[in-house]
Structure 1
Amino acid sequence: MKKTLLTVLSIATALSLFAGSSQTLAAKAWTGQAVKSSASVAYHDFKYKVDPTTFDIVVEREGIKEHVSVPLKPRAVRDVKKTVDRIEWTYPNDKVKVIVQKKNNKYLDIRIQSIGAEQFAWPTVQADNYMLPLGEGKRIPANDKNWKQFLKEEKMTWGESFSMNFMALNKKHYSLLFIIENPFNNEVSFQTKQKIGMTFEHEFPSINPKKEYGFRLYITDNDPVAVAKQYKEYVKEHQGFKSLEDKAKDNPEIKKLFGAPHIYLWNNQALESGNIRWQKIKNKLNEPIWSWIAELAERYAGGEAEQLDSVLNEMKQQQFANNYQKRIIVDTLNQVLKLKQLYLSDYFPVLDDAAKQAVAGGVEKLSEQKLYELNKNLLKSVFQDAIDDPEEWGRDQSNVLEEMRQMGIEKAWIGLPNWSNGLMNPAFVAKANKQGYLIGPYDSYHSIQKNEDKEWNTAFFPDSTLYEQATISNKKGVKIGGFLDRGRKLNPTFSLPSVKQRVEDILQDGILYNSWFIDCDATGEVYDDYTPDHITTQEQDEAARLNRMDYIAKEKHMVIGSEGGHDFASSTIAFAHGIETPVIKWNDKDMRENKESPYYVGGYGAAQGSIPERYVKQVPVKELYQHVYLDPAYSLPLFKLVYNNSVITTHHWEWGSLKIKDEVGSRMLYELLYNVPPLYHLDSQEWDNHKELISSYLKVWSPFHAKAVTQEMTAFKVLTPDRLLQSAEYGPNLKVIVNFSNKDLKHGHETIKARSAVIYDGKKRVTFNGNM
């Protein structure tokens, strides 16, 4: 559209008298702006009017006026200055300066500066409905009863709750798009007594020299595509946009994600029950090694000693070992396998050449991988033919890999719950790599413990000074607790040496990891650290997290992923867990504490290396949460419209594709529509339970994803009033239509079957039935 000149339509000024004798100028200015369009974004003409006394901004497009924010109560104003396209003023009582300016013929630039204020709340917004980047994206009608109930008196930290830095207010005729320029130290509170409203409040921390926050305000159509594409233009301008294809130029392994399901493959035990010949082990129950194993377990490994002694005595009187007895023995042997204290010459008199060499160099000097190798050989040396050769340990995992390949799963991201799982079975890691899969460990630098805990090794660092000298303090000087309030939070600006040491230690013996998953770093959970010796702002905290992920990605050539996946990390990470289904209502006691509740998600513990209930126990969710978190009528692909071909996003690992009862089929349809990898938790048992469902689904999903993930998401449409028939387009020739409803629906000349997806790849048509 032809560009026109900026014109001033009218200027009105008024004098206002406030408390005392001070006079201030309240200026109201209307300005007009031209329409400009590009290939993907249309800029709409609008005029605006500002009243400094109430911070009331009114915009007008095509004769329709809307308030940008609920006006503040009238207040004293000083130092008003105005030009054709700019106005500024000061609130002396609030200790705040405001600047509003039209920029680049496109948007209002609104800046709020502290001149002594500790916090300031603006804007308070109201709309017919909202398009918010909560996870992937949500449409929130202002009168919706479900959202009113969910958001009642709710407060959200901006950086943690919102995956991208914008909020869109849908008015009757157009949308007001706020892009947040300073994402740190912000909180959003909701009002729900009448229509849903939102208040945005910023804190100006005393430790932060940057005393400003603000917004770009755009006028867009009431359409998620228009909103997301406008934000994408901002991303390109502000931080740059890096596609997966661009990232793959630095690391071609990233292409293994294209069409790959995400699978956490569990087996926390190197030695499995099936590796033990139980009748032969009975002949060795009087060996002195058992007393030494019991002592080690009690001293170092969580203490199964009492149960072990009792079990050994029982087994001596029995013909066969029962499952409980097997569990105790297997668990205890796996615990002591991790210990540097296991070797004592009195108990292991006969060593092979490799073990002799390892012992001669000093067990305490062995790498973690070499220690496991030694300890496996030590146990084999005393139990002999009662246990398999160490090369045969962990074969259940290997069998799953073999069957996956046989059933046509050519690509997969394999996540191990801990790096030690791979170090205990490096042959398994090598096998996954050889099959063309990505495989990597879970890692974390978020929490730190003072003392080593073998069951939470990510929270321990060899640098003993970190716990006292590098942890985060709040404003009151109190240390912030770690996960589940255990330990403390580590200041990430001190972490890089420990990151490098840990990664080097893990990789030193050539383990064939080609991917790495970092917990928490892309969630937006960042902190101001008020510790006097190492004052750190949230912005510095975030930069340090990106720096450590960047080190692993670039220097160690790992395909890097993280929890959350918020867009500040989009140029660094290749994949993210948590955007699509985040953690559902963390503080609901029925889900987290009440074990008798049908909604209880399960605990973190697991017997014999199996998958913890928290990840595989299938449970329903409460009706309210079903609406808020899962109902497609409320979902919007805001993140995908910006980042589909930049960051691969899936569910949080607590809410994998099979976790929610009665929602498995609907989530498959969602994964197709939104181009989302399914996420599974598997061991040999879970694989046997679900392999037919998984393999048949992936025959449809994998080729679709492999194409769609290289394309921009170009369109999204809601095709029926109930919002249960939806379509998405990727690039010029790939389209998917999903019918989430329980009845067949007409679209054009076609009938889309109930609970089904139809994929159009050029002239090719593929259907999927989601009735699971």
Structure 2
Amino acid sequence: MKKKLFSLMLCCLMLFSVFAGGEEEQDRPAGGAPLNLENYLFLRTTGENSAKKVLVSPHNLEMLLLREDGTSLQLSSGINEQVWEVREQNDELIRLRQKEKELEVLFELKGSELRISFKSALVQHLTWPGFQASEELSFIWLFGNGRIVPLADEEWTEYLQGNHELYESPLWGFTTGKETIAWICETPFRNNLLIDDHNFTIEQQYLNRFGEEEKVFRLAWTDGSDPLLPARLYRSYLLESGQFISGEEKLSQIPQEGAERLLGSAQFYIWGYDELSTRDIKPDSWKPFAKALTDGSEQHKALLNLMDHDTKSNITEIAAGEWPSAYAKSQMTRGLSQAIRTIGADTLYDMFPQYLKPIETWGQGVSPSFIHELKNLGIERARLTVEGLHNPWNLPATVAAATEAGYLIGPYDSYHSIHPEALGETGESWETAQFNQELFETGTIQRADGSYYQGFAGKGRYLNPKAAWQVFRERVNGNLGIADFNFYFIDCDAAGEIYEDYNTNFPLSSEEAVDFRKTRLRWLRQDRGLIVGSEGTNPFMLPEIIIAEWGLSQPFSWESAEFNDRNSEYYIGGFWPPDAPAINFLGVPLPEVFKRRYFDAASRIPLLEAIHHDSVLVTNHWGADMFKFPEVTKELQLTQMLYLDVPLYNVNRDRLAEKGDSILHNYEFFSPIHREHGFDQLTDFSWLSDDKLVQMTEFDSGLRMIANFSDRKFEYQGETIQAMSLLTVMPDGELRYFVPLSEPGWD
């Protein structure tokens, strides 16, 4: 998961597509010699590109696109000189074979789409396709929502160096503006993308663990610039193979009440489980309250004995000090919450009514009080995620209040990492990684040499999804027994690492591991009737979920030490305090390189939405919500509206009081449009200005969104779009304007 950033870009940079030199040299192959057509086999295109031909060399698998004027475009360079036996050839098909390697390749042409499949009966490696990239190209790949960058950009080129898994981005393309080429890989596992300077190659690995292996690629091309062509090709593949599931079909499999709450909802992670929050102590009451608790009376001593040592120390500190620290306050309310679980809220209130606000207002994010405040703010539709179930006392009442308010609410869960029982006893573990010792010893992912992969953050191991099937259902059913959830979030399933597993108890190929993940996500939707979300945007996983947390913004703190350096201005924060972890709540500045890499509008394109907008709701990762990087919050809001994605926020009662106006401002524009068009198909994307900072998306309903990311106004069909604002043209011609709010102090 931590490598997602690199591999998403790299895998899409794909090596299959590159021009061989400048325009004047395109009638020559990569080696520079004149093009001799007798050295190639021909496939004849049909339709709009009927004058073009695909050329395949039976000597080395070099592949060219021959234009009608006789010039050529290199689709892939060849491999080491190897003669392939021609088994079959006509205008639409070429079948080649290498007998000694028991390797066969089939090229099938349908219109302007080429399908290439390799079959191997032996364990072997094949390095194909490959190319030496030209700086004249711009590459298109699925990174976040999608990106397009010129290869002449040294900053991006340096970032892309290395060896990367192909499965995290199985679609890519390139364009000069005059022509666009798109590739997808239907079978992305056991393929590595190797990038060395401007040399790009894919290494196909055939393990044949469970029989003959097949690798399948598809290629399409068009005249002009079409940055969404790779997405169109991948969507076509999903539809053709029966893998695409529309959002409407997914919603038809869950209770109508839950389905009606989804479109138009803003997304929230709610924090703070304790029964009592710092908001529930009356102003100027901290010191007298602490003095009363420590006055030595038997009743108060008994109350203190229900709290841990650290909490009692902080209460003593408050009683003796002048101004209580935020940490001491949070510890005091945490201790009082511990006591409530034994004596009850009514008893505590009866003991100290002079210091406590009314009971019905108690709680932090996970509380009926928060639900009421969110509803009173004006948020009519919301999807709430509870970050853990380690403190279930407030959950039933909170879930009941959320359901009554018309919201979706559900737990965060994960079956990616598993920890040994001994680690759980040290405090270094986390809730979702705790199962049982037998499963840790028998059901974890192994390499071919018998060693184990380390789990997330280097702790424990990774859990085999087949081995987890029984505990998965048991835990889910147990969680649903705690409260009447109508939503469920599974971390990592649409993003996490995918391995070949050599565990003799549960041997799995990468494909089988993915199938087991899909099965459990499908079970949540079809068998338990739940709205299902996951972390990640792997396009082959998205047919099974309705909410994808990652595409709109994503975490990247592992890319630079300064994000984790407490002395750095870019420190993203730790996991304290529990009701508002700094890593989720602290707004931080961004180094320019990261601002450009992740939030530059000119390089961002909606590839993900062009595949799945009518199937999946795309939102932020919880580690990079709408407020995490205040310098770019306006750009992020414009992108969200332009793609009709969904905003995600980390909140508790304090955060809602602070940011409520900003949340409501976004919601009031977004929600009505999303309720009608949240599952529209995104059909087109275009740049309306030369600097690519004015952009338009179009949807199959006729909806158009035009965003102006520049610092100057823009005229569109007689309408003025102010700098950093958005114009919506509704299907009936109605015009609506949106101007995002900036974060105070960050403009």
Q: TM-score range by the shorter chain?
A: 0.7 to 0.9
Q: Are positions 1:489 and 2:462 aligned together?
A: yes
Q: After TM superposition, list the pairs within 5 Å mapping 1:454-493 onto structure 2.
A: 456-461=430-435, 463-493=436-466
Q: Which amino acid aligns with 1:570?
A: L
- Show CA shifts across 1:735-757 (max 9, x none): 11110000112334333211110
- Show CA shifts across 1:442-484 (max 9, x none): 11111111124677211112x4310000011123322111111
Q: Are positions 1:745 and 2:719 aligned together?
A: no
Correspondent of 1:234 among 233, 237, 248: 237
User: Any idea what SS the aligned residue of 2:233 has?
Assistant: helix
Note closer, same or farther for the CA distance 1:606–1:409 as it changes in structure 2 (3 Å cut): same
Note closer, same or farther for the CA distance 1:718–1:311 as it changes in structure 2 (3 Å cut): closer
User: Any idea what SS the aligned residue of 1:579 has?
Assistant: strand
User: Any idea what SS the aligned residue of 1:155 has?
Assistant: strand
Q: Are positions 1:649 and 2:627 aligned together?
A: no
Residue 53 (structure 1) shift: 2.3
Note closer, same or farther for the CA distance 1:136–1:158 as it changes in structure 2 (3 Å cut): same
Hey, what's the Cα distance between the residues in 2 that align with 1:585 and 1:60? Answer: 45
Q: Are positions 1:756 and 2:746 aligned together?
A: no
Match of 1:562 in 2: 534
Q: After TM superposition, list the pairs within 5 Å mapping 1:259-658 onto structure 2.
A: 259-273=264-278, 278=290, 280-283=292-295, 289=302, 293=306, 297=308, 305=309, 307-308=310-311, 310-311=313-314, 324-332=327-335, 375-377=341-343, 385-386=351-352, 393-394=362-363, 397-420=367-390, 423-451=393-421, 452=424, 456-461=430-435, 463-509=436-482, 511-523=483-495, 525-584=497-556, 586-591=558-563, 593-603=564-574, 605-607=575-577, 609-658=578-627
Q: Are positions 1:31 and 2:43 aligned together?
A: yes
Hey, what's the Cα distance between the residues in 2 that align with 1:321 and 1:622? Answer: 35
Hey, what's the Cα distance between the residues in 2 that align with 1:212 and 1:171? Answer: 32
Q: Which amino acid aligns with 1:496?
A: W
Instruction: Verify the 8 A CA contact 1:97 1:113 in the aligned structure 2.
Output: yes
Hey, what's the Cα distance between the residues in 2 that align with 1:46 and 1:169? Answer: 18
Hey, what's the Cα distance between the residues in 1 that align with 2:231 and 2:97? Answer: 33
Which runs of 5 or more structure 1 residues have no equivalent in the other structure? 1-25, 37-42, 298-304, 338-372
Hey, what's the Cα distance between the residues in 2 that align with 1:321 and 1:118? Answer: 67
Match of 2:126 in 1: 120
Note closer, same or farther for the CA distance 1:262–1:538 as it changes in structure 2 (3 Å cut): same
Correspondent of 1:131 among 134, 140, 152: 140
Note closer, same or farther for the CA distance 1:391–1:555 as it changes in structure 2 (3 Å cut): farther
Note closer, same or farther for the CA distance 1:59–1:513 as it changes in structure 2 (3 Å cut): same
User: Any idea what SS the aligned residue of 1:207 has?
Assistant: coil
Hey, what's the Cα distance between the residues in 1 that align with 2:342 and 2:643? Answer: 46
- Show CA shifts across 1:717-768 (max 9, x none): 1011100000111223311111000011233433321111011112211111
Note closer, same or farther for the CA distance 1:432–1:313 as it changes in structure 2 (3 Å cut): closer
Hey, what's the Cα distance between the residues in 1 that align with 2:251 and 2:400? Answer: 22
Match of 2:203 in 1: 201
Q: Which amino acid aligns with 2:78?
A: P
Residue 525 (structure 1) shift: 2.2
Residue 218 (structure 1) shift: 2.0
Match of 2:13 in 1: none
Instruction: Verify the 8 A CA contact 1:443 1:519 in the aligned structure 2.
Output: yes
Instruction: Verify the 8 A CA contact 1:284 1:383 in the aligned structure 2.
Output: no
Hey, what's the Cα distance between the residues in 1 that align with 2:155 and 2:556? Answer: 15
Correspondent of 2:643 among 671, 674, 682: 674
Hey, what's the Cα distance between the residues in 1 that align with 2:710 and 2:543? Answer: 37
Q: How many residues align?
A: 680
Note closer, same or farther for the CA distance 1:96–1:599 as it changes in structure 2 (3 Å cut): farther
Query: Is the deviation greater in 529-538 or in 659-668?
Result: 529-538
Q: Are positions 1:246 and 2:219 aligned together?
A: no
- Show CA shifts across 1:142-173 (max 9, x none): 2123312322x23332223x2xx322122564
Correspondent of 1:147 among 150, 156, 167: 156
Instruction: Verify the 8 A CA contact 1:131 1:224 in the aligned structure 2.
Output: yes
Query: Is the deviation greater in 63-72 or in 678-687?
Result: 63-72
TM-score, with length taken from structure 1: 0.82
Instruction: Verify the 8 A CA contact 1:278 1:386 in the aligned structure 2.
Output: no
TM-score, with length taken from structure 2: 0.84
Instruction: Verify the 8 A CA contact 1:565 1:578 in the aligned structure 2.
Output: yes
Q: Which amino acid aligns with 2:167?
A: G
Match of 2:34 in 1: none
Q: Which amino acid aligns with 1:587?
A: E
User: Any idea what SS the aligned residue of 2:711 has?
Assistant: coil
Query: Is the deviation greater in 699-708 or in 205-214?
Result: 205-214
Hey, what's the Cα distance between the residues in 1 that align with 2:504 and 2:694? Answer: 56
User: Any idea what SS the aligned residue of 1:568 has?
Assistant: coil
Correspondent of 1:256 among 252, 261, 265: 261
Q: Which amino acid aligns with 1:70?
A: S
- Show CA shifts across 1:677-713 (max 9, x none): 1111111221111111111221111112222213111
Which runs of 5 or more structure 2 residues have no equivalent in the other structure? 1-37, 282-288, 743-747
Hey, what's the Cα distance between the residues in 2 that align with 1:190 and 1:726? Answer: 31
Instruction: Verify the 8 A CA contact 1:523 1:565 in the aligned structure 2.
Output: yes
Note closer, same or farther for the CA distance 1:149–1:771 as it changes in structure 2 (3 Å cut): farther
User: Any idea what SS the aligned residue of 1:633 has?
Assistant: helix
Match of 1:302 in 2: none
Instruction: Verify the 8 A CA contact 1:268 1:610 in the aligned structure 2.
Output: yes
Match of 1:67 in 2: 74
Match of 2:737 in 1: 767
Match of 1:712 in 2: 681
Note closer, same or farther for the CA distance 1:413–1:540 as it changes in structure 2 (3 Å cut): same
Query: Is the deviation greater in 217-226 or in 473-482?
Result: 217-226
Residue 327 (structure 1) shift: 3.3
Note closer, same or farther for the CA distance 1:382–1:520 as it changes in structure 2 (3 Å cut): same
Q: Which amino acid aligns with 2:241?
A: H
Q: Which amino acid aligns with 1:399?
A: S
Hey, what's the Cα distance between the residues in 1 that align with 2:665 and 2:695? Answer: 23
Note closer, same or farther for the CA distance 1:566–1:100 as it changes in structure 2 (3 Å cut): same
Q: Which amino acid aligns with 1:190?
A: I
User: Any idea what SS the aligned residue of 1:268 has?
Assistant: coil
- Show CA shifts across 1:32-91 (max 9, x none): 13217xxxxxx76631221132220112243342111122232x3254423224434445
Hey, what's the Cα distance between the residues in 2 that align with 1:405 and 1:631? Answer: 34
Instruction: Verify the 8 A CA contact 1:713 1:728 in the aligned structure 2.
Output: yes
Residue 92 (structure 1) shift: 7.1
Q: Are positions 1:81 and 2:87 aligned together?
A: yes
Query: Is the deviation greater in 95-104 or in 638-647?
Result: 95-104
User: Over the residues paired in the alignment, what is the CA RMSD in angstroms?
Assistant: 2.9
Q: Percent identity?
A: 25
